[in-house]
């Protein structure tokens, strides 16, 4: 089963973008996952292929029309498609590693990228879109958020990450931040690598890493420890 991503956007040129390079890009070329960028405007209204209109109740900005978006969603994800449908949105539940892992274990995703002030609320309800945020700040569109989500998911697909081991102690696995890393030279600008890492004592190294992970998490992300 290949992980299939369909992204609905007004800027399909933004895909695969950075996901065409490095690990994700090679996996895409190998066919370990697929990416389809669908132009919402193809479902726009009239000669100008209009996709947006002014907000009901009045306020600045524009809102993506529900009929246009629904037509785009139905074309990209016809009945019987069981992939989750996500809407990138600052109002969504903040994306976490656990959800990324669940998504990567599935068949793929359909991702709607908002623009302007956002999308008409009715299409969120009618097409069962799950709103997902990548953080408490406002982007100008959902595309970069979709790239972030896909990058996080694709690197978890079997065979994509060179060293499968490196996933297990990574930050947010076990609700901990990762321990610090060191590499050669052994002394750099007068700073030595912690002696325990050079001791060759596997148990001591593990204990040190665990303690460092807990110390950093307590210091920087006490919210993770409370979970």
Shortest separation between residue 109's beta carbon and ligand SAH, angstroms: 14
Residue with nearest beta carbon to ligand SAH? 114
For ligand SAH, which residue of 1, 79, 137, 163 counts as binding (CB under 6 A)?
137
Shortest separation between residue 117's beta carbon and ligand SAH, angstroms: 4
Give the count of alpha carbons within 13 A of 205, CB side only. Answer: 9
Residue 167, preceding peptide bond in cis (omega within 30° of 0): no
Tell me the window of 12-20, 37-45, 88-96, 198-206 that interacts with ligand SAH (CB under 6 A): 88-96
Q: Which helix (H) or strand (E) holds 94?
A: strand 85-94
C-alpha span between 103 and 149 (Å, rounded): 10
Binding of residue 118 to ligand SAH (CB under 6 A): yes
Binding of residue 145 to ligand SAH (CB under 6 A): yes
C-alpha span between 89 and 32 (Å, rounded): 27
C-alpha span between 103 and 180 (Å, rounded): 28
Report strand pairing: 63-64 vs 52-53.
antiparallel
Shortest separation between residue 129's beta carbon and ligand SAH, angstroms: 11
- In 3D space, the residue among 167, 104, 120 whose CA is nearest the CA of residue 95 turns out to be 104
Binding of residue 60 to ligand SAH (CB under 6 A): no
Binding of residue 1 to ligand SAH (CB under 6 A): no
Binding of residue 44 to ligand SAH (CB under 6 A): no
Binding footprint of ligand SAH on the chain (CB under 6 A): 88-91, 113-115, 117-118, 133-135, 137-139, 141-142, 145
């Amino acid at each position: 089963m290949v992980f299939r991503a369909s992204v609905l956007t007004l800027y399909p040129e933004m895909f695969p973008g950075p996901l065409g390079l490095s690990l994700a890009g090679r996996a895409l070329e190998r066919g370990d996952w697929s990416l389809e960028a669908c132009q919402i405007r193809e479902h726009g209204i009239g000669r100008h292929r209009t996709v947006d209109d002014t907000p009901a109740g009045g306020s600045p900005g524009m809102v993506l029309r529900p009929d246009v978006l629904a037509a785009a969603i139905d074309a990209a994800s016809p009945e019987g498609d069981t992939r989750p449908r996500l809407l990138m949105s600052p109002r969504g539940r903040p994306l976490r590693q656990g959800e990324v892992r669940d998504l990567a274990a599935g068949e793929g995703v359909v991702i709607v990228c908002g623009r302007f002030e956002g999308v008409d609320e009715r299409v969120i309800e009618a097409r069962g879109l799950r709103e997902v945020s990548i953080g408490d700040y406002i982007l100008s569109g959902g595309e970069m958020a979709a790239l972030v989500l896909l990058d996080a998911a694709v690197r978890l697909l079997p065979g994509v990450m060179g060293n499968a081991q490196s996933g297990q102690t990574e930050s947010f696995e076990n609700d901990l931040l990762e321990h610090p890393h060191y590499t050669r030279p052994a002394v750099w600008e007068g700073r030595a690598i912690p002696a325990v890492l050079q001791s060759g004592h596997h148990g001591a190294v593990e204990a040190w890493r665990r303690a460092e992970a807990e110390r950093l998490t307590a210091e920087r992300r006490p919210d993770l420890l409370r979970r």
